[in-house]
């Protein structure tokens, strides 16, 4: 049987696009690639904004400046979209899918916004829509959820899915930096953008949580906002308290099944016990920790960003799409479970770390403790440290309802003896590992 | 289109077999399973030695006592082999494959012995041979290597793939136990067999290393012996020295590319730096750390044994085989790279931890250091501790060749002032995380 030839159109030639083209054209990899694809792979065009700028490792004759035309080319079997953004990117992907070409994308924002609709479009046209690189860069978590864990009931997913914030928090932990210093360092090293909002306010992590949730639990991807809290309020004193208490602070994305059909999806900083495998995820690394009903805890760790790691995820998808083409099939889209409903976040329970700056006067602690008690938030441990005329009170609570903690803090904020509320950060349990 | 019905024959009803049958027949999972398989799945027989013993969760009318007849049944589409052993298990699998049925197995010993031949037989008959559960229980590492990393060049794999030895070493580390105590504890808890040889002498880990190597690098599976060293000689003092020096001792399986076509496969205890992700793999957990050329470091962590976790891996394979059946295709077997050759283990270099008990007399250290120097083994650090008339010398070397370390120890062993050589354990570098 002759080996079929498949033609690829690539949109975007940034770090990931260049690394992907270089991987695909590397002579020493051709045997493995043909073997993995059951086909020879040929790039017929790379769409870029400016075709006159030379791109290292890309044959200049391949550069084109019209991504829509590339997506529409009848001889492109697989469109590889690495440009990012939602508009007009969506129209390029739709154009390719409409005519039955498969699409491989790293676009988390677009998948979070309209992944269910795009997946349906792919299916209706007998094509694949694959997006391994959209979550946690080079870590093959998407395929694992779609295949190896397809028959498993997943109860919770905890992800460190944003390398920028993990780098910042790691520097605060290991070097004792405060947030502003660590952010500046991340910017200097190229880990954080000049405008770091998407990372530090957890927009990026939230999109990834939605994609993980769709595969782990079966939620639709149609741009629903989820509960989102970033790391800008995490202070050096919080990191320090956490370490003394046996924890490390991480920004986590959470997908959690609550009861039979309840669901919580959220991002927030959390205290992770030092013995939990996620606590050992340092620097810009990413990890996804999955708690399956029967599989028990599973964790994937790797580089969440970077041109080459992300390009290997794109390549895995391209080989998969190619094998499917060669055998005239395509993956079925993940199924959406219509019975799932978002639970009220106020009803969720957690252990909390709370920090208050109060006047260092007799009776203040009793007053504060009284407020906790009235709202049924019970205290597990307390630490008091004085500075001048003030004192800092740091509490770990027992398991408490979010709405009760919230009303506790509201009432504390009214007290004349409470100067400020410094921290309210959830604590993650166990880990089973 | 009507959903096809696929028929399964199961051989073995131990922990994994029972957990698998229970998963497959759990009413709450039927929707997800049909969805994952693109088919309904029906068990037509479970082969056991004694059909009169009731098996929890298995309909007694399914029990049969002739595994070969079950494998030969024309209406069995997928044979699930969970009995273990190589003879007569091999004939059951061959019987099923010969008639074009797919086979899912957890049998590491059989795969290591004749995996290449069985995979070829499957391919020639248009069937799948899947064995996710044969390595690291519930961790979906096999599928990741076959699919997501198919186009990646893998330079090294380090695996903690034996839960029993990891439990023993973890207890020695966290509780200060000596080897015999920790082994007895593992036996009492059911983590170790009455005869622990397969685990502690690393026969089990060696089989898994061979399977990982076949997928990561492309070696054939035909029962070749690999370099194997177990944990029985690891002492409490070694664990203690490692901790003080910033390491933890683990039994690791290694697959390593050396140069273009050289290869080393081996199992041995190793000092792992505390900041390496593998150092955080505690108790009976398993983990596989993969160093890809472009992907960078990747790690999978999870439960390496246990009925339910292993059954989820078996289920992932069954769903995959079922989807393939439904679309009339099968996976191509991994390719064997005939250019690979085993390197001489004596040529490999590593940092070493060495421990000697010597007479506490003037001039002994100079004498010992002289031997190191003559064999070109250079010392990075040394610690001396005295007990009675003896002293213990603990060394970390610089990078040294295995044959030089070996000849150093041979000459040291001849010295009258050297009472015994206590430890010679390799040190793993970095981790990149």
> Active site residue: B208, B233, B250, B294, which one?
B208
Q: Cβ of A110 under 8 Å from any chain B Cβ?
A: no
Catalytic site includes residue A208: yes
Average pLDDT over residues B118-144: 96
Average pLDDT, chain A: 94
Does a cis peptide bond (omega within 30 degrees of 0) precede residue B88? yes
Is B329 a residue whose pLDDT tops 90?
A: no
Report helix, strand or coil for B145.
helix
pLDDT of residue A430: 63
Average pLDDT over residues A202-222: 96
Average pLDDT over residues B94-117: 98
Residue pLDDT, tens place only, A395-412: 999 999 999 999 999 999
Is B132 a residue whose pLDDT tops 50?
A: yes
Is there a contact between A153 and B280 if contact means CB atoms under 8 Å apart? no
Residue pLDDT, tens place only, B352-367: 999 999 999 889 999 9
Q: Is A258 exposed, middle or buried (0-12, 13-18, 19+ CB in 10 A)?
A: middle
Which residues of chain B have a CB within 8 Å of the CB of A294? 19, 23, 308-309, 311-312
Q: Which of residues 149-168 of A touch B (CB under 8 A)?
A: 149-153
- Reported confidence tier of residue B2, pLDDT bands at 50, 70, 90: confident
Could you tell me where the DSSP H helices lie in B39-178?
67-72, 89-98, 108-124, 141-146, 163-175
Residue pLDDT, tens place only, B250-276: 999 999 999 889 999 999 999 999 999
Residue (of B338, B118, B334) closest to A32 by Cα position: B334
Q: Cβ of A427 under 8 Å from any chain B Cβ?
A: no
DSSP state for residue B41 in the 8-state scheme: E
Residue pLDDT, tens place only, B146-195: 988 988 999 999 999 999 999 999 999 999 999 999 999 999 999 999 99
Residue pLDDT, tens place only, A21-42: 999 999 988 888 998 888 999 9
Higher-confidence position of A3 and B278: B278
Q: Hey, what domains does chain B have and what are their CATH numbers?
A: 5-137+307-326 (3.40.50.720), 153-303 (3.30.360.10), 345-427 (3.30.70.260)
Which residues of chain B have a CB within 8 Å of the CB of A132? 148
Could you tell me where the DSSP H helices lie in A126-162?
141-146
Higher-confidence position of A1 and B356: B356
**Can you tell me the distance from the alpha carbon of B10 to that of B18, in angstroms, rounded to the nearest whole number?**
10
Is there a contact between B315 and A282 if contact means CB atoms under 8 Å apart? no
Q: Do residues B157 and B289 make contact, with C-beta atoms less than 8 angstroms apart?
A: yes
C-alpha distances (whole Å) from B133 to each of A162, A177, B70, B114 are 31, 44, 21, 17
Q: Which residue of chain B is at minimal alpha-carbon distance from A290?
A: B302
Q: Which of residues 36-75 of A touch B (CB under 8 A)?
A: 36-38
Residue of B152, B250, B279, B313 for testing the chain A interface, max A β-carbons within 10 Å: B152
C-alpha distances (whole Å) from A119 to each of A125, A334, B43, B269 are 10, 8, 32, 47
Is there a contact between A279 and B277 if contact means CB atoms under 8 Å apart? no
Calculate helix-pair angle for A89-98, A108-124, nearest 10 degrees.
Answer: 20
Residue of A80, A295, A305, A331 for testing the chain B interface, max B β-carbons within 10 Å: A295
Residue B402 main-chain phi, psi, to 5 deg: -55, -40
Residue of A23, A40, A147 for testing the chain B interface, max B β-carbons within 10 Å: A147
Is B38 a residue whose pLDDT tops 90?
A: no
Residue pLDDT, tens place only, A268-290: 999 999 999 999 999 999 999 99
**Can you tell me the distance from the alpha carbon of A319 to that of B408, in angstroms, rounded to the nearest whole number?**
49
Considering only CA atoms, give the Rg of chain B.
24
Q: Which residue of chain A is at minimal alpha-carbon distance from B279?
A: A280
Residue (of B418, B273, B276) closest to B354 by Cα position: B418
Q: Cβ of A327 under 8 Å from any chain B Cβ?
A: yes
β-pairing, B247-258 with B154-160?
antiparallel
- Reported confidence tier of residue B432, pLDDT bands at 50, 70, 90: very low
Q: Nearest Cβ partner of B132 from A148, A281, A315?
A: A148
Q: Nearest Cβ partner of B312 from A152, A280, A312?
A: A152
Which residues of chain A have a CB within 8 Å of the CB of B281? 277, 433
Q: How far is A3 from chain B (nearest CA, A)?
A: 14
Which residues of chain A have a CB within 8 Å of the CB of B280? 277, 279-280, 433
Q: Nearest Cβ partner of B151 from A153, A275, A316?
A: A316
Q: Do residues B375 and B257 make contact, with C-beta atoms less than 8 angstroms apart?
A: no
**Can you tell me the distance from the alpha carbon of A280 to that of B290, in angstroms, rounded to the nearest whole number?**
17
Q: Which of residues 279-318 of A touch B (CB under 8 A)?
A: 279-283, 285, 292, 294-303, 306, 308-309, 311-313, 315-316, 318
Residue B1, Cβ neighbours under 10 Å: how many?
Answer: 5
pLDDT of residue B4: 86
Q: Do residues B422 and B235 make contact, with C-beta atoms less than 8 angstroms apart?
A: yes
Residue pLDDT, tens place only, A58-73: 999 999 999 999 999 9
pLDDT of residue B433: 38
- Reported confidence tier of residue B209, pLDDT bands at 50, 70, 90: very high
- Reported confidence tier of residue B81, pLDDT bands at 50, 70, 90: very high
Is A433 a residue whose pLDDT tops 50?
A: no
pLDDT of residue B1: 55
Report helix, strand or coil for B346.
helix
**Can you tell me the distance from the alpha carbon of A18 to that of B235, in angstroms, rounded to the nearest whole number?**
51
Average pLDDT over residues A328-350: 91
- Reported confidence tier of residue B389, pLDDT bands at 50, 70, 90: confident
How many helices and strands, by DSSP H and E, does chain A display? Answer: 14, 18
Residue pLDDT, tens place only, B282-308: 999 999 999 999 999 999 999 988 899
Residue pLDDT, tens place only, A117-175: 999 999 999 999 999 999 998 999 999 999 889 889 999 999 999 999 999 999 999 99
Percent of chain B with pLDDT over 70: 99
- Reported confidence tier of residue B430, pLDDT bands at 50, 70, 90: low
């Amino acid at each position: 049987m002759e080996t079929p030839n498949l033609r690829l159109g690539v949109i975007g030639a940034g770090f990931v696009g260049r690394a992907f083209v270089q991987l695909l054209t590397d002579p020493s990899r051709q045997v493995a690639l043909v073997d993995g694809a059951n086909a020879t792979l040929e790039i017929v065009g790379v769409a870029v904004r400016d075709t006159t700028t030379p791109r290292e490792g890309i044959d200049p004759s391949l550069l084109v400046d019209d991504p829509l035309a590339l997506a529409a080319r009848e001889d492109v079997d697989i469109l590889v979209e690495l440009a990012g953004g939602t508009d007009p990117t969506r129209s390029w992907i739709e154009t390719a899918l409409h005519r039955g070409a498969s699409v491989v994308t790293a676009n988390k924002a677009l998948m979070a916004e309209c992944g269910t609709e795009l997946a349906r479009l792919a299916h209706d046209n007998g094509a694949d829509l694959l997006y391994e690189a959209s979550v946690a860069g080079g870590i093959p978590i998407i395929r694992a959820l779609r295949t190896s864990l397809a028959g498993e009931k997943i109860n919770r997913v905890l992800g460190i899915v944003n390398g920028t914030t993990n780098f910042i928090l790691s520097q605060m932990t290991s070097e004792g930096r405060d947030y502003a210093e660590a952010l500046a360092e991340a910017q200097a090293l190229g880990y954080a953008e000049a405008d770091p909002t998407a990372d530090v306010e957890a927009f990026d992590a939230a999109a990834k949580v939605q994609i993980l949730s769709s595969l782990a639990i079966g939620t639709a991807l149609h741009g629903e906002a989820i509960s989102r809290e970033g790391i800008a309020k995490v202070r050096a004193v919080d990191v320090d308290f956490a370490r003394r208490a046996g924890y490390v602070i991480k920004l986590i994305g959470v997908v959690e099944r609550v009861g039979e059909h309840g669901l919580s999806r959220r991002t927030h900083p959390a205290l992770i016990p030092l013995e939990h495998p996620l606590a050992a995820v340092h620097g810009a690394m990413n990890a996804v920790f999955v708690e399956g009903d029967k599989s028990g805890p599973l964790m994937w760790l790797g580089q969440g960003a970077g041109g080459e790691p992300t390009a290997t995820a794109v390549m895995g998808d391209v080989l998969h799409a190619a094998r499917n083409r060669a055998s005239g099939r395509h993956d079925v889209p993940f199924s959406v479970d219509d019975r799932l409903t978002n639970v009220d976040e106020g009803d969720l329970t957690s252990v909390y770390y709370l920090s208050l700056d109060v006047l260092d006067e007799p009776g203040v602690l009793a007053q504060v403790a009284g407020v906790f008690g009235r709202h049924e938030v019970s205290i597990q441990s307390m630490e008091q440290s004085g500075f001048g005329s003030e004192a800092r009170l740091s509490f770990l609570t027992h398991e408490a309802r979010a709405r009760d903690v919230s009303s506790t803090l509201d009432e504390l904020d009214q007290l004349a003896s409470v100067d400020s509320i410094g921290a309210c950060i959830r604590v993650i349990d166990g880990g089973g590992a």
